[in-house]
Amino acid sequence: MPTVIVGSARDIVEYCGVPRFLFTDFPLGNPCGPPGRRDLQRVIAGQALDLLGSARAPRTIKRSEVVWPSDDDWRPRYGRVKPEEIERLRKLGEERRERQAQSKKPG
């Protein structure tokens, strides 16, 4: 079955070697645009279908021309942790790792 991957993690998807890849320079988890922006999502879906029809070789990669809306620049805040949140997040991580360790114990 012919496929096109639409995604934002270009290095990871390239490493996996998918047949066709439409790269969108958007935050992870939003490869087709912001929630509720059907206009952008339709354009990206159309680009993916165009790539499906135009790709002539394995591992074809195309970069979408669609840009994240300028009124919501995600880059400055993406992955940033506020100093007042560090300890709380550290504790949550420790608790998660403990739950995972307990779930792996036999019995």
34-to-3, 75, 78 alpha-carbon distances in Å:
23, 14, 14
In this structure, is the dihedral angle defined by the CA atoms of residues 25, 28, 30 and 35, taken in order, positive or negative?
Answer: negative
The H or E element containing residue 1 is none
3-class SS at 93? helix
Query: Is pTM beyond 0.85 here?
Result: no
Q: Which residues of the chain have pLDDT under 50?
A: none
User: Tell me, what's the pLDDT at 54?
Assistant: 94
